[in-house]
Structure 1
Amino acid sequence: MNMTLRNRCLKGFGALLLAFAGLAAAEPKHAITLYDEPAKYPPNFTHFSWVNPDAPKGGGLRLAGLNGFDSLNPFIPKGNSADQLGLIYDSLTFHSPDEPFTEYGLLAEQIEKAPDNSFVRFYLNPKARFHDGKPVTAEDVVFTFNILTEKGDPMYRHYYADVSKVVAEDSQRVRFDFKHPGNRELPLILGQLQILPKHWWETRDFGKTSLEPPLGSGPYRIAKVDAGRSIRYERVKDWWAKDLPVVRGYYNFDVITVDYYRDMSVALEAFKAGQFDFNLEYSAKDWATGYDSPALRAGKIIKESITNHNPTGMQGFAFNIRRPVFQDRRVREAIALLFDFEWANKQLFYSSYKRTGSYFENSEMAAHQLPDAAELKILEPLRGQVPDEVFTQVFTPPVSDGSGIIREQKRRAYQLLTEAGFKIENDKMVGPDGKPLTFEFLIAQANLERVILPFKRNLAELGIDLQIRRVDVSQYINRLRSRDFDMVPATWGQSNSPGNEQMEFWHSRSADSAGSRNFIGLRDPAIDKLVEGLIRSDSRQSLIEHARALDRVLLWGHYVVPNYYVDTWRVAYWNHFQRPGSTPLYDYGLFTWWVKPGMETASQSGQNQPEPDSQ
């Protein structure tokens, strides 16, 4: 053997040894974390610290939904699916709401991922059963993945785009191989797959909406459906997973019912009348004054603000930059200057909100300071492709004195529009093309109009015509999916470990995807690079740096009119409930609550309830 051939063989053998060493280093675990840090709970833990492991079972929980539903399939981009359908399904893993990103085994009693994150293998619990008694197998996992990526909402294709293949190695083992190593988040995201029964769906059209109750394996099954008006879930008392440590202390209600109302104001009146039990309040006005009632004064209704440690993300009025009128950054900035948050907060919101100034608000990932050296290293290759302010200024939304007089903002807005070629003609702001600056704000909820109307008045004073168009929910959803809008209210929620979902939010490849949340219509190579870099982050610090860099570029693009946020959950509930003494950092833990013993009344068990408000 000549030396060249010998050296090649040795190198090949060495590479093979390294590959085997990598495989040998992978071992099944009870939990996986984003950066391979130890999970908070060891393999032999008995329950999470925020639950009452001995919480009594029984009684019922009645919730409110809005605007009805016409589908029991939440996985497809059609129809308006019913609330709480996740209760009927089990996922491969259970997401810990007390850790930034840790997944513990549920359907999968063990998880094994490659040291280089090139694959993940799930070992299914042999006890796992669907509600018809048939076992959950690896074939069901493969079927679920394939049907979601082929016929499900387009977001699944974005989420799982880096999966090259999924293989059922035997009845209890399933392996996902990735196109590229290094995607730390993908094994955890795959663990969140809610597994569907292959034998049930094989005889049905997955791509169509349906009101037939689907088969699941979760803690509840659908017991009754009143199309568009209510849905009733009943606890599966012989649920296969009821003794697992990850769910001990959870799912204590025998019955969970969701009744639907026309809008939030009608629902609030129904809550005060005792027609449902728990309300998560989004309206500052209602939180301040709307709950006043004999029941509240008598202590029958309890109001609490529970600290929310989650990033609040971005809530704002989103520009559709597919529209020619919004393609000039100066026009978008000018329009955003005319939203007077301070006045709205004082006059409409009882000074209860904070102004959103980041796409990762309420977290360490928010770019609330100048970029440091590590962040500049990420941004420097993009100089000239991103706004110059990214490197030199901290983005802050305009601030008024709250009087309603915003002369400085109007002057600056007029200056920007003039620079963009606009001028005033006959009291109308007219563009370089001779057309008036006018656009439509699309909404589905009436209560948002009181926030938009002052914004509309400020725009009108500069000759800009904003038309508010309120449509029903089904039309609203269809117009969102077809991108048939100028401006819409939008929210991009963020987790403590952002990752693949950023592709669906901001990446070019999601711009034309009807089901994505790229409402803005972003097609920016610089933003694409930042998103891809964030997903490939190999440490928590790197994730923070990439998130801040992305945040700056999005903010200085003026793609939204930033709104406001609150860093608590505002919850109101009737006093026949008890909850554990502590809550996890990132959830208010509703499904760890229980009905006080002795208070399982007929209404609490879901019987003889008042009729919900008709649609």
Structure 2
Amino acid sequence: MLPHRKSPKILVGFRLLEKAAKLGSNCQGKGLMDLSRRLACVALHNTMTVAALALFTMPVHAASSLAQFGEPRYPASFTHFDYANPGAPADGTLNFGNYDELQSYDSLNPFLLRGAPAPDIRNLMFDTLMQRSWDELASEYPLIADDVEVQPDLASATFHLNPAARFSNGDRITAADVKYSFDTLTSPQASPLYNSEFSVIKSATVIDASTIRFDFKRAERDAPLIAGDLPVFSPKWGMRPDGTRPPFDQIANVPPIASGPYLIERRKNDKDIAYRRNPDYWAADLPARRGMFRFGRISFQLFFDNFGLLEAFKAGNIDVNIEGSATIWARRYIGENFRNGLLQKGTFANGPAYMRGLLMNLRRPMFQDVRVRHALTLAFDYDWMNRMMFYDQYRRSNSYFDPGSFGATGMPGPKELALLEPYRASLPPEVFGPMLKQPSTLPPDSLRNNLREARDLLSQAGWHYRDGALRDANGTPMSIEVLDDQPGMDRLLLPYMQALNMLGIEAHLREVDSALYQQRLDSFDFDMTTGGYPPVTVPGVELLRRFGSAAASEVGSENTVGVHSKVVDALIHAALTATTLDDLEAATRALDRVLVNSYYLVPEFYAPNSRIAYRSTLAYPSTLPKSYHDPDWVIDYWYVKPHGVAAAGHS
């Protein structure tokens, strides 16, 4: 407990003692001459006194930081994260390109379902109660909140706010503002993603101006950290001159009243925006922020495709380019500016992998049979693509938690079996055997053999080749539209669709812009699409959003596939209620076996390293975080190196 305040329990204890003392005095009063009534009064006085004293001695997890398992890595006296450079210059400009493949934006509100938010606006303009560490499994450190008390039974967590915390308009950030943010994000006016993200929180209660308590629906070890992830914004955001406030879902083009380090400097159009660092940002010297956000100005210029982006980078209009294509990385990052040292390229080790693949929409009847989904997986020739297109830079995705201790390998262990055994009758026998490996086409295997196996599976599922197409019992041909919004993906998808055509499946590619793509995904209007699941350091509540049955019917849900399984729900519950890291690993491994053997997607591949090219005037801290989102690592922790200092290098 930090010494600057009394615990809410201690305050309640003092109040209860005061009431007990007053009651004790009344028990001696002349109005209670009857012995039985006096004894009852004394008994109540004693009970209140014992309860008050219990509040003083009740064990409670009170600390300035949180860790889901074990103890936080950094002590309360830490000055900065190891992967930050507190001595880095705090000036200069970063010219960035497309952020997360965003081609345009039409909203300044990142919390809505409709529209595409401005690039990185949530990260740059909205602080959270606490800051996640990037070199631990799951730990948080003070930001808007300067300490937190967690009940031993995990029923609630109470956050105390730093009295110096301010919005960009100068207003103090209060507990009422935090409650407003929580209530708004979990309301129908915000994207359902946030309601899912904070679904473990039952309610938020203002204790006083600086203290807020979150009560939880379930005792989950990550619940306090989820509360700490809450982004905070001002109730005055979008307020009209007459003091009225429009519905939150209508606040789309009003600059936010920020709690984070940056403000919007200018907007040209839906492809251009610039942020400038707030000179009055109150948290700049907090340990969790020291060495972070070193650019005085960050601008984004969005391009229709990655080819235009690369040319802008090579011409010097963009300072950093994060390359997603192995072929382009190997062949096109060349030229005079690379030879003279103005531009550099490097590969950087990263953490858990992005599980990417071709997602099947289980809401379509043809995908409800697992044999059909299995057959479609067999038609993907990863080995040929990696050899011929990707210069062997990738690794095949074999797990939803790959690589790391949360993914399944080999035979299931005793704890995994204990979780799976109650559902044996409804699970394929492969779940209880060696962990499935994705099909290979390396000798002695071949695509021809895989397609032969796929044909047999389709036949078992009632799909037979006749009259020039694969047809069901009613004569309806199997037709699959693959939806995508990334120009250049056709070179990956067309060979796959050719393999499907060999099976008699009419497959075609539909490329749309990012806005229409997101709209179709939100309404589940697709057959198959490229997509996946961003990595997390510790699996948690995002499992509900991605695979939980309740999310399968929510518009805008992350459960794009439409997984609706009692077994999956039960294993997610086991993961969320795990009390030890060992129990969590057993639950995620069991879940991994079920998901992989259900063939919800055609697994593709992942890059073990991040590929980042950059202007040599930029530098980065010598210590890398263990897990990070490439664009945010550059934006949050890189900096313009001092004049005359040699270029940073890392590979």
Name the TM-score, length of structure 1 as normaliser.
0.92
C-alpha displacement at 1:122, in angstroms? 0.8
1:447 corresponds in structure 2 to 488
Once the two structures are superposed, what CA deviation does each residue of 1:41-60 show, in whole Å capped at 9, x if it has no partner? Answer: 11111122222211111110
Structure 2: which amino acid aligns with 1:51?
Answer: A
Q: Secondary structure at the match of 1:169?
A: strand
Q: Secondary structure at the match of 2:418?
A: helix
Structure 1: runs of 5 or more not aligned: 1-5, 601-615
Choose which of 435, 440, 446 in structure 2 pairs with 1:394: 435
1:524 aligns with 2:565: yes
2:180 corresponds in structure 1 to 143
1:29 corresponds in structure 2 to 63
Aligned partners of 2:574, 2:526: CA distance in 1, in Å?
31
CA contact (8 A) 2:196 2:545 kept: yes
Aligned partners of 2:53, 2:190: CA distance in 1, in Å?
35
CA 1:373–1:219 in 2, change beyond 3 Å: closer, same or farther? same
2:271 corresponds in structure 1 to 229
C-alpha displacement at 1:22, in angstroms? 10
CA 1:23–1:161 in 2, change beyond 3 Å: closer, same or farther? farther
CA 1:248–1:257 in 2, change beyond 3 Å: closer, same or farther? same
CA contact (8 A) 2:238 2:251 kept: no
Aligned partners of 2:504, 2:179: CA distance in 1, in Å?
57
2:220 corresponds in structure 1 to 183
Q: Secondary structure at the match of 2:159?
A: strand
2:627 corresponds in structure 1 to 586
CA contact (8 A) 1:445 1:470 kept: yes
Q: Secondary structure at the match of 1:224?
A: strand
1:606 corresponds in structure 2 to none
Structure 2: which amino acid aligns with 1:75?
Answer: F
CA contact (8 A) 1:480 1:519 kept: yes
CA contact (8 A) 1:318 1:490 kept: yes
Choose which of 94, 99, 116 in structure 2 pairs with 1:80: 116
1:609 corresponds in structure 2 to none
Aligned partners of 2:565, 2:52: CA distance in 1, in Å?
39
| Identical-pair percentage | 35
Aligned partners of 2:141, 2:308: CA distance in 1, in Å?
40
Choose which of 548, 551, 554 in structure 2 pairs with 1:510: 551
1:110 corresponds in structure 2 to 147
Choose which of 128, 143, 163 in structure 1 pairs with 2:201: 163
Q: Secondary structure at the match of 1:572?
A: strand
1:94 corresponds in structure 2 to 131
C-alpha displacement at 1:404, in angstroms? 11
CA contact (8 A) 1:362 1:567 kept: no
Aligned partners of 2:429, 2:543: CA distance in 1, in Å?
23
Matches for 1:339-378 after TM superposition, within 5 Å: 339-378=380-419
CA contact (8 A) 2:292 2:637 kept: yes
Once the two structures are superposed, what CA deviation does each residue of 1:237-268 show, in whole Å capped at 9, x if it has no partner? Answer: 22111111111111111100001101111101
Structure 2: which amino acid aligns with 1:586?
Answer: S
Q: Secondary structure at the match of 1:511?
A: helix
**Radius of gyration: which is bigger?**
2
1:121 aligns with 2:158: yes
CA contact (8 A) 1:576 1:599 kept: no
Structure 1: which amino acid aligns with 2:59?
Answer: A
Q: Secondary structure at the match of 1:187?
A: helix
Structure 2: runs of 5 or more not aligned: 1-39, 240-244, 646-651
C-alpha displacement at 1:526, in angstroms? 0.9
Matches for 1:517-596 after TM superposition, within 5 Å: 517-587=558-628, 589-590=633-634, 591-596=636-641
Q: Secondary structure at the match of 1:447?
A: coil
C-alpha displacement at 1:208, in angstroms? 2.6
Name the TM-score, length of structure 2 as normaliser.
0.87
Deviates more, 1:366-375 or 1:121-130: 366-375
Choose which of 83, 87, 90 in structure 2 pairs with 1:50: 83
2:517 corresponds in structure 1 to 476
C-alpha displacement at 1:337, in angstroms? 0.3
C-alpha displacement at 1:401, in angstroms? 2.3
Aligned partners of 1:402, 1:475: CA distance in 2, in Å?
42
CA contact (8 A) 2:130 2:143 kept: yes
Deviates more, 1:19-28 or 1:504-513: 19-28
C-alpha displacement at 1:598, in angstroms? 3.3
Choose which of 517, 533, 536 in structure 2 pairs with 1:495: 536
Structure 1: which amino acid aligns with 2:258?
Answer: G
CA contact (8 A) 1:343 1:404 kept: no
Larger RCO, structure (CA 8 Å, separation 6 or more): 1
Aligned partners of 1:226, 1:564: CA distance in 2, in Å?
37
C-alpha displacement at 1:405, in angstroms? 5.6
CA 1:382–1:20 in 2, change beyond 3 Å: closer, same or farther? farther
C-alpha displacement at 1:205, in angstroms? 3.1
CA contact (8 A) 1:128 1:135 kept: yes
1:281 corresponds in structure 2 to 323
1:613 corresponds in structure 2 to none
Aligned partners of 1:172, 1:487: CA distance in 2, in Å?
49
Choose which of 195, 204, 223 in structure 1 pairs with 2:232: 195
1:604 corresponds in structure 2 to none
Q: Secondary structure at the match of 2:357?
A: strand
C-alpha displacement at 1:354, in angstroms? 0.5
C-alpha displacement at 1:447, in angstroms? 1.2
